[in-house]
Structure 1
């Protein structure tokens, strides 16, 4: 492969400016005649949706041909459950991205659509109901001839689906996706949608197998991580504070090989953190991620800053991956995990937030976005740009981290900052549940192990 090709993203959009899409040709066995045929692979992107792998097989011996499309999506670290309350015609028009592995449920009518042939789709809530009705009606003539009782029950359930679509009463659409790659449109974007809730969960063994992850592989990855951690700790004991480590990774945007830099640093009046930065030469994507070097604190922390001057934008900010961010004046909230861990300035954090919310949401761009959403996003980004440019003051930036690992620079340290309030609070049961602390036993565990 040429050096120019190696600097291009692995998955890239088809374009007239890219005459060489780099198809891969593999000699494959023909299942029709047993001779060797040719499989061609093309890795590409569907704009504002996802990465896909196009496969085309052709056998010159018997003429057999076959074309397939498979998802090239990265499996997320955790599965996701999205719940949406459907109570209006506008809700029926919500766009839904259902990945290959997603199960769709409507609990009120005890209805479930399992993953079908691992095919993902972009549709609407109404489209899901319409497809279900059409699918059930398709075989009814044959059913009525073979089993009239079953056909009557299905007719009754079809009517239930039709009544559900008529919104005789509100219902809940639940998308359970172990791969974590499904979406339901947020009609209030970029604000919080009260009808929309999402949560993440650890996959069990069966779900890992379903998405193509197996225990042996996980065990190997864990052993490798433990070995790397051991080596890192040994190096840290020597001179890690003054050293930047480099290790090979894949770009989280285009999956091309790149390099990540890692360093431990100490934040004054706070604690040690691990900073990791990645710069991809193939697509230009840059990330910086921060991990706490001191574990979970005894209490959560809530930091509120009132922005009164452009100099406030240059304050150092550490936002951990468990931290939520609020801007009350914009009626805006960024949930925990949305931006990952960041160590930057307040200006940099707001810029990253804008890029994440405006640039990475597949349902607020192009033809998939309504004019209302586009107008709302335009108004929101204008105000956000004014804040970033230091032209809008009096707004409040709130960081709420139940793990207690977030920080904002006090420019008056060690004196009290008149524009910033820091409150340490006791975590609730729900906070501990999200952090995985309720299932963690740290005292007398030897007794449980022996019993």
Structure 2
């Protein structure tokens, strides 16, 4: 299939693996160009019967596995673009948060502020559960992180954001962003989410 930029393409996928609906599963694909970066395809799978939904992002230009990082120090840094695929790992250093690929992981195109909002919503839910369990220490820790996030958003506290993707499908985009190639050791240590990394036969024979 040829992707046409700027248009939403709908593809019928058949039966839903969740509810068994016949012919109710479809994919919506949208290709757009991110300035100074390249073309990205956002894909969302939806079941019209049960509402199952899963999203992913794919960079359409060949990019090597990299580590991207940015130091958020003022409010404008929150607008640093974040392209995260299902195989991307995000680290928020100062608050000790790591978002790793998993069965329920979704890809997205957002910015640092959007990532912080996702973390904030998750923490609020976790804090509520811990309150019901009477885990005062976990509640206190969640409140500390929530307070820190608010101060980051107000430009009062720094935050180091990193994203790593062994498949090269994730990135940070902005003036302050730094990047470097991932080492082979780092690539092997990172989760791939639903994907499998296949090494060329030559690399295996050479111990690479």
* CA distance in 1 between partners of 2:197 and 2:178 (Å): 29
Note the residue ranges of structure 1 that are not aligned, 5 or more in a row. Answer: 1-8, 59-63, 188-194, 227-451
Aligned match for 2:165, one of 177, 181, 191:
177
CA contact (8 A) 2:75 2:153 kept: no
What TM-score do the two structures reach when normalised by structure 1? 0.36
* CA distance in 2 between partners of 1:103 and 1:208 (Å): 8
SS at match of 1:167: coil
Higher RCO (C-alpha 8 Å, min separation 6): 2
User: CA, structure 1 residues 55+201, in 2 after alignment: closer, same or farther (shift >3 Å)?
Assistant: same
- The alpha-carbon deviation at position 132 of structure 1 amounts to 1.8
Residues 1:106 and 2:92 are matched in the alignment: yes
Larger radius of gyration: 1
* CA distance in 2 between partners of 1:22 and 1:114 (Å): 29
* CA distance in 2 between partners of 1:133 and 1:30 (Å): 31
SS at match of 2:90: strand
CA contact (8 A) 2:87 2:167 kept: yes
Residues 1:118 and 2:105 are matched in the alignment: yes
Residues 1:199 and 2:186 are matched in the alignment: no
- The alpha-carbon deviation at position 219 of structure 1 amounts to 4.3
Q: What's 2:195 paired with? A: 212
User: CA, structure 1 residues 38+155, in 2 after alignment: closer, same or farther (shift >3 Å)?
Assistant: same
Aligned match for 2:56, one of 71, 91, 101:
71
Residues 1:51 and 2:32 are matched in the alignment: no
User: CA, structure 1 residues 44+11, in 2 after alignment: closer, same or farther (shift >3 Å)?
Assistant: farther
* CA distance in 1 between partners of 2:84 and 2:195 (Å): 18
SS at match of 1:37: coil
Query: Over aligned residue pairs, what C-alpha RMSD do you find?
Result: 3.7
Output aligned runs, 1:209-288, within 5 Å. Answer: 210=193, 212-215=195-198, 218-219=199-200, 222=202
User: CA, structure 1 residues 110+180, in 2 after alignment: closer, same or farther (shift >3 Å)?
Assistant: same
CA contact (8 A) 2:74 2:155 kept: yes
CA contact (8 A) 2:92 2:162 kept: yes
Aligned match for 1:157, one of 139, 145, 150:
145
Note the residue ranges of structure 2 that are not aligned, 5 or more in a row. Answer: 35-39
